[in-house]
Amino acid sequence: MANSTIVETYSRLAEQYDDELNLHSCWGRAADRALSSLMLPEGCRLVLDVGCGTGKSLLKLAADCRPAVEFVGIDPAENMRKRAAERTRGWDNVRILNGRFESIPLDSASVDYLYSIFAFHWTTDLNRSVQELARVLKPDGEMHLFFIGRNNGREFIEKTTPIFLNYLGPAGLLESAKLRKQLTSEAARGLFSRSFDPARLSIAESYDTYYDTLEGHWGWWVRIEGHFVQIAADKKRACDQEVKSALQSLMGDSGIPYTIHQLHVKLQRS
Amino acid sequence: MNALSEDRLVDLVVAWAKQNTRKGAAVGLRIDKDTDLIATGLLDSFGFVDLLVYLESEAGCRVDLIDADPSEFSVVKGLCRLALKNHRADEDGNGQLHYR
């Protein structure tokens, strides 16, 4: 079962996703860094991007690769897929499909190289998703998943949780929290070890603090708007204003800090 | 039989919160029945979800949050009273945690 609130919000806001402010925000930079760390192995025939969004990473990889390699990007948000399809038009070796971690529209043992950049935390079913990843990967396939960890964004969380509690109410706040899975490194290891050979599996954990202006950080807010759809439209503006004031209070000499807690699950070739 | 008391629940919540506060949050802060777990930054919403699951398994009570006051919910004793209220209402029921 896909997370319909999140998917619908991403689809609704797809046009804003490629705004310069989002692309150059801490999340845009972290995504670029993750992308630049990917290296397709020799002999790779099918590459899969799960949660491909507007197709930016997929196109970058396809452009750097020989045309014999087939690329598939899947995303559950219709308008994100449309933008990805537009972006990759003319690339005969790139396909954009409707799919998600919980249900990947590819044959078993068909994928040589699977990656995902900041999407896995939106899955609604961790076990099913990992089993699905294991199903589509070839036995010697390689996988790189980048997603947020349990302690992500701690500066913002501390400042904004009391505000969201006020606007969402206790039940709404907890429902909102459950829209996202934020694992500890230990929990991620336990989860992936159930479906993959632990000897080929490793998890790199990192904390990187990014400093930006309020406007710069607000540029990536489009990524989490799905959490706040329960707030009535007439109250949303006031809520946003309170959140902005709270974030502004974090301003220091270097800017407003935001720490990305990233987990990178790697499955190396055997 | 209702074997739960507010003091017992407060002890459970305080002990859990001491073990599970957010990484780097309010180091050295004393946690007691009057502590606001969200305003102090001790717990975030994910932590609260975990806390309610713990209350369900440990105390067998449900916390119905539909009409809960935000300021009551986030303070240790307020949360315990919410849990106890529902526990009493459920004395003859299944006593499942239920945050709608």
Query: Across chain B, what does the average pLDDT equal?
Result: 80
In a domain, B98, yes or no: no
Chain A residue with CA closest to B21: the answer is A151
pLDDT at B100 over 50: no
Distance of CA B40 to the CA centre of its chain: 15
With a CB cutoff of 8 Å and minimum separation 6, the contacts of B15 are: none
Taking the model in full, what pTM does it have? 0.90
Tell whether B65 lies on the interface with A, counting CB pairs under 8 A. Answer: yes
pLDDT at B26: 64
Phi-psi region of A18 (alpha: psi -120 to 50; beta: other; left: phi over 0): alpha
CATH of the domain at B78: 1.10.1200.10
pLDDT of residue B95: 42
- Report, as ranges of residue numbers, the positions in chain A whose pLDDT lies below 70: 1-2
pLDDT value for A120 = 97
Q: Which residues from chain B sit within 8 angstroms of residue A170, using beta carbons?
A: 65, 68, 70, 73-74, 99
Q: Which residues of A touch B44 (CB under 8 A)?
A: 157-158, 161, 177
ipTM: 0.78
Q: What is the pLDDT of residue A2?
A: 44
A239 CB neighbours in chain B (<8 A) are none
Whether residue B75 is contained in a domain is answered as yes
Spell out which residues of chain B touch residue A176, defining contact as CB-CB under 8 Å: 45
Number of domains in chain B: 1
Gap from A238 CA to chain B (nearest CA, Å) = 18
In this predicted structure, what is the pLDDT of residue B64? Answer: 82
Residue B35 lies in a domain: yes
- Provide the residue range defining the domain that includes B61: 6-22+29-89
Classify residue B96: in a domain, yes or no.
no
A52 vs A73, A74, A87, A96, B47, CA distance in Å? 5, 6, 12, 8, 30
Nearest CA to CA, how far is A90 from chain B (Å)? 44
How far does the CA of residue B72 sit from the closest CA of chain A (Å)?
A: 10
- Tell whether B40 is covered by a domain: yes
Residues β-bridged to residue A100: A103
In a domain, B94, yes or no: no
Please report whether residue B99 resides in a domain. Answer: no
CB of A39 within 8 Å of a chain B CB? The answer is no
B99 to chain A, any CB pair closer than 8 A? The answer is: yes
In chain A the domains, ranked by start, together with CATH numbers, are 4-152+180-213+257-267 (3.40.50.150)
**Interface contact flag, A157 B44, Cβ < 8 Å:** yes
* Chains A–B, number of C-beta pairs less than 8 Å apart: 59
User: What token pair was written down for B12?
Assistant: 């459970």
Inside any domain, residue B47 = yes
Could you report the per-residue pLDDT of B1-49, keeping only the tens digit for each?
346 788 989 999 999 998 888 766 666 788 999 999 999 989 999 999 9
In the prediction, which pLDDT does B96 show? Answer: 44
CA-wise closest residue to B79 among B21, B40, B16, B37: B37
Summarised one tens digit per residue, pLDDT across range B53-97 is 998 888 787 788 887 888 889 999 999 988 888 766 555 454 444
Express each pLDDT in B85-94 by its tens digit.
876 655 545 4
3-state secondary structure A105-147: CCCCCCEEEEEEECCHHHCCCHHHHHHHHHHHEEEEEEEEEEE
Residue B98 has pLDDT above 50, yes or no: no
Q: Least CB-CB distance to B22: which of A154, A162, A173?
A: A154
